[in-house]
Amino acid sequence: SVPPPAELLEIAVEVARDAAATAYRMRAEGVSVAATKSTVTDVVTAADRAVERQVLDALAKQRPDDAVLGEEYGAAEAAAAPSGVRWVVDPIDGTVNYLYAIPYCAVSLAAEVDGEVVAGVVRNIFTGEEWTATAGGGAWRDGRRLRCSTETDPGQALVATGFGYDPGRRSHQARVVAELIPHVRDIRRLGAAALDLCLAAEGRVDAYYEKGLAAWDLAAGGLVAAEAGLRVTGLRGRPPGPDLVIAAPPALFQPLHDRLADLDASGGP
Ligand code: IPD
């Protein structure tokens, strides 16, 4: 039988804490680029791989019948799970920040039941800040329930976004930012999508959008944001996905959505 979300979250938190500790230790020992993926700027370090391996092993021990989708190794293990549970892991979201020791990178781990994210944890590797959520159970950081920003004026909104690794895509994304920035308080490109969503969950940025997110970037942080009251969708009523993810408080959603639609934020390569 499928355990309730709270039970899945307990497992996720335990696994994510151990994973973050490993990532922190490996960073202190010194890291370098182990390989590049889609482009030369899309790096992977030995820590990305070691941390994901640790997460896969820990989950296999506790939940042998679950499937896992992971950024570095998980695809092969992502076949249908007899248990109905699938874990989605980004061992280090914000790999470039990790490489440069900028304290804005995280372990992201979520549990899906029948394709719906029901529990998620995002843990900052450097600061130990930890965001959690369960479907219907709210979003939390360190024992405090989170609510998103109550800002209503798009012109006063601090909007976080991110860029993909493909050069053509980034040029398009930069053009969208150039057009958007006169109409908002400011833009932040902080460097880790999962954390951007968690910051939006507590109003430390007002909203967030990005094209090209992978499932592991979105799963846990997306639940945290939604449970804190943000609308998390794609363009024109589509579900959030690789085309575009917009996370905005209800009052800011429509104006931000419409501007991003006008700017063709989901277009380009
Ligand atoms: C990246 C970060 C970045 C976002 C990219 C992601 P990674 O994840 O979340 O902020 O803009 O779209 O790919 O590669 O560091 O795990």
Instruction: Give the CATH number for residue 129.
Output: 3.30.540.10
Do 159 and 219 fall into the same domain?
A: yes
The pTM assigned to this predicted structure is: 0.96
Do 176 and 88 fall into the same domain?
A: no
Do 55 and 160 fall into the same domain?
A: no
Instruction: Tell me how many domains the chain contains.
Output: 2
Contact 212, 169 (CB under 8 A): yes
Which helix (H) or strand (E) element contains residue 203? Answer: none
**Residue 217 marked as a ligand binder:** yes
Task: Tell me whether residue 145 is in a domain.
Answer: no
Q: b/e for 156-166, b at 16 or more Cβ within 10 A?
A: ebbbbbbbbbb
Do 71 and 164 fall into the same domain?
A: no
Contact 24, 126 (CB under 8 A): yes
Interatomic CA distance for residues 68 and 172, integer angstroms = 32
Q: What is the pLDDT of residue 40?
A: 81
Q: What is the pLDDT of residue 79?
A: 59
Residue recorded with tokens 């092993």: 57
Do 172 and 48 fall into the same domain?
A: no
The token pair at 169 is 């895509």
Q: What is the pLDDT of residue 36?
A: 80
Task: Tell me whether residue 255 is in a domain.
Answer: yes
Any ligand 1 atom below 6 A from CB of 70: no
Do 166 and 210 fall into the same domain?
A: yes
Do 110 and 221 fall into the same domain?
A: no
Mutate to test the pocket of ligand 1, among 108, 217, 243 (most ligand atoms within 8 A of CB): 217
Contact 120, 220 (CB under 8 A): yes
Contact 263, 180 (CB under 8 A): yes
Q: What is the pLDDT of residue 42?
A: 77
Contact 120, 13 (CB under 8 A): no
* β-strands 186-188, 207-210 pairing: unpaired
Q: What is the pLDDT of residue 71?
A: 85
Do 39 and 133 fall into the same domain?
A: yes
Task: Tell me whether residue 102 is in a domain.
Answer: yes
Do 65 and 10 fall into the same domain?
A: yes
Complex-level ipTM: 0.96
Q: What is the pLDDT of residue 41?
A: 79
Task: Tell me whether residue 229 is in a domain.
Answer: yes
Q: What is the pLDDT of residue 35?
A: 78
Residue recorded with tokens 């700027």: 41
Task: Tell me whether residue 231 is in a domain.
Answer: yes
Mutate to test the pocket of ligand 1, among 55, 93, 104 (most ligand atoms within 8 A of CB): 93
Answer with the one of 80, 104, 138 that is the final residue of a domain: 138
Answer with the one of 110, 138, 166 that is the final residue of a domain: 138
Contact 2, 84 (CB under 8 A): yes
Ligand 1 mean position, distance from CA 135 (Å): 24
Q: Which domain holds residue 107?
A: 5-138
Q: What is the pLDDT of residue 50?
A: 93
Interatomic CA distance for residues 201 and 108, integer angstroms = 15
Task: Tell me whether residue 24 is in a domain.
Answer: yes
Q: What is the pLDDT of residue 249?
A: 98
Q: What are φ and ψ of residue 120, in 5° steps?
A: -155, 150
- pLDDT by residue, tens only, the chain of 269 residues: 799 999 999 999 999 999 999 999 999 998 877 778 887 877 788 898 999 999 999 999 999 999 999 988 766 455 567 889 999 999 999 999 999 999 999 999 999 999 899 999 999 999 999 999 999 999 999 999 999 999 999 999 999 999 999 999 999 999 999 999 999 999 999 999 999 999 999 999 999 999 999 999 999 999 999 999 999 999 999 999 999 999 999 999 999 999 999 999 999 88
CA angle 191, 242, 204 (to 5 degrees): 40
Do 113 and 173 fall into the same domain?
A: no
**Residue 125 marked as a ligand binder:** no
Do 168 and 127 fall into the same domain?
A: no
Q: What is the pLDDT of residue 72?
A: 81
Position in ligand 1 atom list of the atom nearest CA 196: 10
Do 109 and 176 fall into the same domain?
A: no
